[in-house]
Structure 1
Amino acid sequence: MFETPIIAEPIKGIAPDFRALSIHVDAEGAKEGSFDSSVLTTACEFVSAGGPSWADAHLASWSDAYQRFGAKPNRTPCSAQALRKRVIKDGRIPAINPVVDLYNAVSLRYALPVGGENFDAYVGRPHLTVADGTEIFDTMMNGEAVLEHPAPGEVIWRDDLGVTCRRWNWRQGTRTRLETAAGRMWFILEALGTMPENALDEAGDMLVQGLSQLMPSCEIQRQRVSVT
């Protein structure tokens, strides 16, 4: 039903220890379920208490990877670092919608970037690659739709139409943004070597369990991807 994401060869030189869980969900025949909003609250409390133990090391590895492709992690941190900073500063992050709240909770609890995409909006397979600078990225600025281009050499997620996420997992585009728990969805949980091996699988288990409760009878496929 779903094809494996493509990890381009240059990623190996930037993050040779990169690995990820790719999780595809088909909710077209799913029933209406429920979402426990305390999942996000509990994840925020866990971060405020200092968890998980590998957070600092793992997020430092992401900062190093960002620097290797020319990004400035203090200005444009990876998504997991940005979420964690908000929780440490404010003690919480606001709820958005159940599916986004769920994958944000997984990101916080396991200190890893988690992306959620509307797969029905994809054209072709997801590619993690290095930009040449001509790709199109659709985003919002001051409430207006704008088109941008990534910097040459920047790590991006893209499909056959354009960029879906800039600076690896820093900013998601509007075209494939996941706003409702419906249709086909794709989630990517991204890890580097300083994250314990079993923790990536546990993060996937948490996401799959939450999705199954939110959308009973949905079809879920999960697979490992890595640089080769």
Structure 2
Amino acid sequence: MSNAEAHETFLNSATVDPAVFELRPDYRALLLVIEGLDAAPSNTASDDLIHAAEAYARSLLADRPVEELPHVAVWREAYRAFGAKPQRTRNSLEALTRRAAEGLPRVNPLTDIYNAISVLHQVPVGGEDLALYAGPARLARALGDEPFEAFANGEAIVDHPSAGEVVWRDDAGVTCRRWNWRQGPRTALSDGTTTGFFIFDALEPMTDDALRAAGDALVTALSAINPAVSVSQRLVTAQ
């Protein structure tokens, strides 16, 4: 099986549990596998993207608080639907937009780029190393006993989601808690990542066209670093 076929198989095996769609029938996930990534140091193009995201965040927040931004507001509603308190555990879009106004964090080049895309297109985005996945990606409501590898006070720990919490997971455990709140280190992108798995989470009023435009923007940004990247993608909806 070629890499492209393997990536298509991985994407086609990804699932969203019906219980998640019961919470939010308008939920859509744009899934991308991008091969040929080059984790070279940040260049002018990626720096420009980050600076543009920071400026955009400042413009968005000039006349209203972050919680009133349309896509942030509906994600707050989604968090409340499964029992999370959005003022304590903020969805990734809200957290990044808040921070971007003062300056986006620098993690590694790949993460920095998708964080900038998240702010510029106002959509939660997660990025992971496909080689570190164990089996297919699934979005489900947790039982509460699934392992989630994390760090606390600088030490590795194994945590667990709350029962009913919406989580991304694979065969080895949870990869991202509370839908798009916190990704685990087990599948994290690094300077050695060559094939990334990216998740774009959308709720209404974000349209499918806007969601795809965000995905295209990520591909364009990563292609600027390595024009030879190859892309497979799938849009998962309740239909």
Q: What amino acid maps onto 1:64 in structure 2?
A: E
Who is 1:65 aligned against?
78
**What is the CA–CA distance in structure 2 between the aligned matches of 1:191 and 1:46, rounded to whole Å?**
20
Shift of 1:15: 1.1
Q: Within 5 A, what are the aligned runs for 1:19-168?
A: 19-27=28-36, 35=43, 36=45, 37-50=47-60, 56-88=69-101, 90=102, 92-168=103-179
**What is the CA–CA distance in structure 1 between the aligned matches of 2:39 and 2:84, rounded to whole Å?**
42
Q: Within 5 A, what are the aligned runs for 1:193-212?
A: 193-212=204-223
Question: Aligned pair count?
Answer: 224
For structure 2, list consecutive stretches of 5 or more residues without a partner in the other structure: 1-5
SS of the equivalent of 1:49 reads helix
Q: Give the alignment's Cα RMSD to 1 decimal.
A: 2.1
Moved more, 5-14 or 193-202: 193-202
CA-to-aligned-CA distance 1:159-200 (integer Å, 9 cap, x gap): 000000000110010100111263221001111011133211
**What is the CA–CA distance in structure 1 between the aligned matches of 2:165 and 2:34, rounded to whole Å?**
28
Q: What's the TM-score, normalizing by structure 2?
A: 0.87
Q: Within 5 A, what are the aligned runs for 1:181-200?
A: 182-200=193-211
Shift of 1:33: 9.6
SS of the equivalent of 1:64 reads helix
CA-to-aligned-CA distance 1:59-85 (integer Å, 9 cap, x gap): 111000100000001000110011111
User: Which of the residues 17, 26, 44 maps onto 1:8?
Assistant: 17
Shift of 1:7: 0.6
**What is the CA–CA distance in structure 1 between the aligned matches of 2:174 and 2:193, rounded to whole Å?**
23
SS of the equivalent of 1:205 reads helix
Q: Which has the higher helix share?
A: 2
For structure 1, list consecutive stretches of 5 or more residues without a partner in the other structure: none
